[in-house]
Amino acid sequence: MKLFDYIRDVPDFPKPGVVFKDLTPLMADPAALEDAIARLVAPFRGESIDLVAGMEARGFIFGALAANALACGFVPLRKPGKLPGATEAVHYELEYGTASLEAHLDAFKGGPRVLVVDDVLATGGTAEAALSLVERLGAEVVGCTFLLELGFLNGRSRLPGRRVHSVLMV
């Protein structure tokens, strides 16, 4: 299946000069979505993974589906103020400003093996922050996997020594 056929370019979003990669057509097609998730988790099948962590917001979609495919649990990495319990936060730079992610303090009790999932690897700031947060809370990161990598932004360079898998590369 040609997954690129299900990704729509939206010029000048969220600001002039940026071409946003809209994944909603892919998510709306059951066969494309199933194929995308199978490819997303393929390199990690057969490994001992206890949890998948996904970044808000589209990382929730792909992360929860990846967790289901790997028969493990899912932990959301949320924007500040969205989780009801005690949390740990990490702050980071984005290509359009700054942001933060939070997770419950007890989300990774017992040192689980975690796969970090998101939709797009762009500059690498969100992924780098997520890995830092997950490890700070006691987990072992097995790797990270993305549906789409924007290679021209060199986000992979912010993840040195990490196991990184991307289904598609632009």
Name the residue type at position 146. F
Which pLDDT score is estimated for 151? 96
Which pLDDT score is estimated for 147? 98
Would the pLDDT of 20 be above 80?
yes
SS3 category, 81: coil
Would the pLDDT of 95 be above 90?
no
Q: How far apart are CA 135 and CA 118, in angstroms?
A: 17
- Nearest one of 102, 74, 75 to 88, comparing CA atoms: 102
Query: Mean of the pLDDT values across residues 94-116?
Result: 92
Would the pLDDT of 96 be above 70?
no
Residue 78: active-site member: no
User: Beta strands of the chain (E only): which ranges?
Assistant: 8-11, 19-22, 51-55, 73-77, 87-94, 97-104, 113-121, 140-149, 164-169
Would the pLDDT of 70 be above 90?
yes
Which pLDDT score is estimated for 32? 98
Query: Mean of the pLDDT values across residues 65-73?
Result: 98
Q: Cis check for the bond before 30: say yes or no (omega within 30 of 0).
A: no
Could you report the per-residue pLDDT of 123-141, keeping only the tens digit for each?
999 999 999 999 999 999 9
Percent of the chain's residues with pLDDT above 70: 99
Please, what sign has the CA dihedral across residues 150, 83, 75, 35?
negative
Q: Which of 39, 56, 88, 95 is catalytic?
A: 95
Which pLDDT score is estimated for 97? 75
Pure H helices in 82-164: 125-136
Its pTM stands at: 0.95
Average per-residue pLDDT in the chain? 96
Query: Mean of the pLDDT values across residues 100-111?
Result: 97
Q: How far apart are CA 11 and CA 16, in angstroms?
A: 8
Q: Which of 39, 58, 113, 162 is catalytic?
A: 58
Residue 95: active-site member: yes
Domains of the chain: 42-169 (3.40.50.2020)
